[in-house]
Structure 1
Amino acid sequence: MTAFLSDPAAVASTPAILPLSLVVLTYNEAHTIARCLDSVPFASEKLVVDCGSTDATVAIATAHGARVVHQPWLGFGRQRNAAAAFARHDWLLMLDADEYLSPELEAECRERLPALLAGPAAAAGLRRHGLFMAAPMRAYRPLRGERKLRLYHRERARWTDARVHETLRARGPVAMLDAPLHHRTTPTLLHKQLKSACYAELKATDRHAAGRQPSIALCPLIFLGIFLKEYLLRLAVLDGARGYISAHLSANAAVYRRFRLYEMHRNPASIGEARDWLVAHDLEREA
């Protein structure tokens, strides 16, 4: 045993473990959590912050080397900040359960992160690639290398407190990694529409609480503006029929949020009724 440990070739082949925490928020992610955790073998800590999963998420996470802590759901931004406080390291790689590192990104992290973690950087961006209708997009920008700040020093960056579509605010230099971060979300259009409706509920509820008034008369122009932005400026046009569908869904979601806000003003009771329905269908974490 001693001879093996002192063998230079054996030591050189041992993968380096880096002083950072992989942090993953979960809620009923049994079908994705193992892939996510296993894609980051170089993290010295794997931390799963669960908000009440009723499936096998916790057991699978534990079996794949994660420490699991339980935190009631606070909204996306506040939940991420709360999760950061549980980590043992200042440098965090915060992924969603349906995200995972490509082999190329794992190799790039092993090569570049030692210097990055030792330097003055506040955060690093990852290029996230996603699927739409079970296939990669050729050109549509949000699904072809969209920059996402996910690696950061918790004393130099902080998430906004938004309940949905939170952003990481860095206070210092930001680096950029090049290899792809894979994102396997909304495997069908049904999944995408349900997720979009849940996000719309959160945004509409926040705007209603802030006293925002809906602008129904502008909805046709809003639909057209969002559609043209997604289809032309963000290059969905180059992805054929799937690009058209994606641009249309984005424009429809923007209009639906305003329709829902209008309904909340006309019928405030609908807020609680919608919430009860989401809870009954196990979608309460999203909204």
Structure 2
Amino acid sequence: MKITANIITLNEEKNIEAVIKSVQEVCDEVLVVDSLSSDKTCEIAKSLGAKIVRQEYLGDGKQKAFGAPLAKNEWILSIDADERLDSDAIEAIKNLDLENTPYDAFSFARKTYVGKALIKLWYPDRVVRLYNHSKCGYTTAGGHARVDAKNVKDLDAHILHYSYDDYSHMIKTTHKFITRGARLAYEDGKRASSLDPFLHGLGALFKALVLKGGAFHGIDGWNVAVISAFSSYMKYALMLEMQENE
């Protein structure tokens, strides 16, 4: 398969071997764009045949876009270090005729786990990850970005996302995303009112528990709903704090 896997990393020594072996099922080149890791990420990746490029972190979209011109193939499979191709994704990719396909990109449903628990609240969470970089590519906006493609085919296949080791890990990571999200929104010229933390926090809780059915997904549904609501509340609370300190 003439596909380049593009993986961005930062201190991912516990994940890098598994993700590389996963994509090597369908990719003839593995490109690791590393954000100056201080652990054995690059050493392990190199031992598995990956091409290593060191680049200080530019942001999610910019970092993934940075690797695209360095790929030897037109088709790129973008995957995070904490993700794996499910067996149905490997089979689906092998069955694609990429030289003659009318599509510019393909999307996958994503199964996200907290520890061993599959978070049904976040399923199917479709993401475009296999794309022809001569026709489309990642947006370079701050925060989490996406492949900007118009002619996309949804595959009946899955990416496994081992996002958090446990809920303690999720809470610690959420703190980082809250801070970054507030800062990016503020720098983008957005401003919050005194009601925004309450409105967005309650809105996130209602969406997770009621609209997405999290209330019926057991303790995992409630845990994720509450953490999501807290994240939304604190993002706007931090924006208000930034405004007060202007």
Per the shorter chain, which TM-score range? over 0.9
- Match for residue 51 of structure 1? 35
Is contact 2:115-2:162 (8 Å) kept? no
Once the two structures are TM-superposed, the CA of residue 237 in structure 1 deviates from its matched residue by 1.9
Is contact 1:51-1:71 (8 Å) kept? yes
* Equivalent-residue separation in structure 1 for 2:178 and 2:142 (angstroms): 11
1:253 aligns with 2:231: yes
Q: Give the aligned residue type for 2:32.
A: V
* Equivalent-residue separation in structure 2 for 1:218 and 1:148 (angstroms): 29
State TM-score, norm by structure 1.
0.81
Q: Counterparts in 2 of 1:109-148, with a 5 A limit? A: 109-111=93-95, 113=96, 115-137=97-119, 139-140=120-121, 142=122, 144-148=123-127
Give the aligned length: 245
1:265 aligns with 2:243: yes
1:38 to 21, 37, 47: 21
1:94 to 78, 89, 100: 78
Q: SS at the partner of 1:28?
A: coil
* Equivalent-residue separation in structure 2 for 1:200 and 1:32 (angstroms): 24
1:149 aligns with 2:131: no
Moved over 6 A (4+): none
* Equivalent-residue separation in structure 2 for 1:170 and 1:99 (angstroms): 22
Q: Which has the larger radius of gyration?
A: 1
Is contact 2:143-2:184 (8 Å) kept? no
* Equivalent-residue separation in structure 2 for 1:226 and 1:122 (angstroms): 33
- Match for residue 77 of structure 1? 61
Once the two structures are TM-superposed, the CA of residue 83 in structure 1 deviates from its matched residue by 1.0
Q: Which has the higher helix share?
A: 1
- Match for residue 148 of structure 2? 169
Is contact 1:124-1:150 (8 Å) kept? yes
Once the two structures are TM-superposed, the CA of residue 220 in structure 1 deviates from its matched residue by 2.1
Q: Give the aligned residue type for 1:47.
A: L
Gap change, CA 1:218 and 1:49, over 3 Å in 2: closer
2:161 to 179, 183, 202: 183
- Match for residue 158 of structure 1? 137
Q: Give the aligned residue type for 1:33.
A: I
CA deviations on 1:96-143 (whole Å, 9 max, x unpaired) are 0000112222122212x2x14432211100111011243113x42x1x
Gap change, CA 1:162 and 1:199, over 3 Å in 2: farther
Is contact 2:4-2:75 (8 Å) kept? yes
CA deviations on 1:192-251 (whole Å, 9 max, x unpaired) are 122222122222112222332222223223222111111121121221121011111111
Gaps of 5+ in 1: 1-17, 269-287
- Match for residue 273 of structure 1? none
Q: Give the aligned residue type for 1:154.
A: H
CA deviations on 1:125-170 (whole Å, 9 max, x unpaired) are 0111011243113x42x1x322110010112222222221212110
* Equivalent-residue separation in structure 1 for 2:113 and 2:160 (angstroms): 9
Q: Counterparts in 2 of 1:190-269, with a 5 A limit? A: 190-267=168-245
Q: SS at the partner of 1:183?
A: strand
Is contact 1:157-1:169 (8 Å) kept? yes
Once the two structures are TM-superposed, the CA of residue 174 in structure 1 deviates from its matched residue by 0.8
* Equivalent-residue separation in structure 2 for 1:265 and 1:117 (angstroms): 52
Is contact 1:163-1:202 (8 Å) kept? no
> RMSD of aligned C-alpha atoms?
1.5
* Equivalent-residue separation in structure 1 for 2:13 and 2:133 (angstroms): 27
Gaps of 5+ in 2: none
* Equivalent-residue separation in structure 1 for 2:135 and 2:216 (angstroms): 39
